[in-house]
Amino acid sequence: MNSLLRTTERDTARPAPVERFRGQSRRRLFRADLLTVLAWASVAAAIALWLADGGAAGFSTLAGTFTALGIVAGLAGMDLVLLMLLLAARLPVIDSAVGHDRALEFHRKLGKPSLYLLLAHGILIATGYGMAEGLNPVSELVSLWVLVPDMWLAIVSPALFIAVVVTSLVAVRRRFPYEFWYAVHLLTYAAVLTAIPHQFSTGALFAEGTWQRWYWLAICIGTGAALVHYRVLEPLVATVRHQLTVRRVVTEGPGAVSIELAGRHLDELAGNGGRFFIWRFLAPGAWWHPHPFSLSAEPVAFDSSGRGTLRITVRNLGRGSAQLARLRSGTRVAIEGPYGLFSTAARSRNHVVMIGAGIGITPIRALLERTPFEPGNATVILRGHSEAELYLGTEILDLCRRRGATLFHVTGPRSAGGPTWQSEAAVSSGHRLASYAPDVADSDVYICGPSAWARSAISDIRAAGVPDEQLHYERFDW
């Protein structure tokens, strides 16, 4: 295959494609991000509970003002915590509207505001109650701890939330293995459970017989039920139904292997190319480690029962993924998903541009296999340090030939002039995204690759005039 960087023209020149081919169809779908609206509406509903109970009357005195503000802070903080849990529950309606990684990104953004509101709740309540009883806030907290049976749980809860928020900070997460972070993150459930009892045992807002009590019980129980159903029951049912096992492991390039899996009812998973699943390989030392990998090839069913094979391709990026290269044939596999918007369902334009780097090329291969487009309406750009790092490159080349896509290989060392998604030779030749895909502003753009590289590419994509609703990407990091 030809290098794409052998061009004597600069600036306005389009790089020479590896090959341009012919192929078929398309589809259109619209999506919008409503998470911010959802958060505000949810908090407004929580505060409305208090206002409907005559809570505003508390502002008549200074002590009452502190207490009222504390109640509002507690309602808002707890409401945001429940929303965080729903965003992490992998609800299909949220996943199909905004995508898995955007939902988790918003989940993380709510962490600090939730914690600050809950801490403010405790301080303001202690101050307000203390002023009414002639005690300082610390003495009031001690009094509540002694006199109210379940108040100690409410005081322990913020400490658990602090541990979760601190370990969620990027700088802290990177110092510890995923398993440590995940174990600490489970404290979120303990923090929520310890915060709930005092909400119903103290104060009049959620007293027995009030409609506010039933509303709050409903959203607490509903959130818990959603977590159990989508994070526990559905994965168990999918694992039992599909009965996936490792068929073979094949080396694809430097540090990368493809894992071919056999199973039942795989026809139900077809059409999810590009979307990712959570995989657990039930082998000693590996069964507890979840891996978010996309399919690198669509499931192939061999008979009417849907028995067949599917494939994922992974790279050795750590201890967990390194174990996968040594998996034995017959190893059973647990599965969750599919998740995300990195699929044909996100299409909104006739033209499509797919950009992948490193192991992020493999979801591009699966997406290319099923994405509908007319001949000449698709551009595929693969980025690697060398040709050997263009994983599954031969398969992608063959798909482009059959389907009519234009294929570019951007290989070579990174540019020393700053962060860029291209190679040094491409940058020095004056190439931009529009050099590869002149119609990019009127295209759906799919991008998958390492986080820093993806940020650079996304910046270039937006600079080329691509609206956010036409930009589709997933980050699989935790």
Same-domain status, 410 and 447: yes
147 and 95 within one domain: yes
The answer to whether residue 13 sits within a structural domain is: no
Q: In this predicted model, what pLDDT tens digit does every residue of 7-42 receive, in sequence order?
A: 222 333 567 666 655 443 333 333 446 788 889 999
Domain stops at, among 339, 366, 395: 339
Domain range enclosing 420: 19-29+343-473
Task: Among 219, 237, 255, identify where a domain stops.
Answer: 237
Domain count, the chain: 3
Task: Report DSSP state, residue 56.
Answer: G
Rounded to whole angstroms, how far apart are CA atoms 296 and 334?
18
Looking at residue 356, which CATH number applies to its domain? 3.40.50.80
**Cα radius of gyration (the chain):** 26
**Whole-number percent of the chain with pLDDT over 70:** 86
Do 310 and 375 share a domain, yes or no?
Answer: no
Q: Which helix (H) or strand (E) holds 35?
A: helix 35-52
Q: Which of 214, 237, 260 is the last residue of a domain?
A: 237
Distance CA 400, CA 406 (A): 7
The b-or-e profile of 157-180 (16+ CB within 10 A means b, else e) is bbebbebbbebbeeeebeeeebee
Q: For 401-438, what is each residue's pLDDT tens digit?
A: 999 999 999 998 887 766 788 888 888 888 888 889 99
**Position 462 in a domain:** yes
Question: Per DSSP, what are the bridge partners of residue 173?
Answer: none
- Counting as low any pLDDT under 50, the low residues of the chain are 1-12, 22-32, 477-478
Query: If we measure between CA atoms, which residue out of 399, 381, 376 comes closest to residue 460?
Result: 381
Place of tokens 């919008």: 32
Answer whether residue 5 is part of any domain: no
So what's the pLDDT on residue 419?
A: 77
Q: Helix, strand, or coil here: 110?
A: coil
Same domain flag for 292 and 167: no
pTM: 0.78
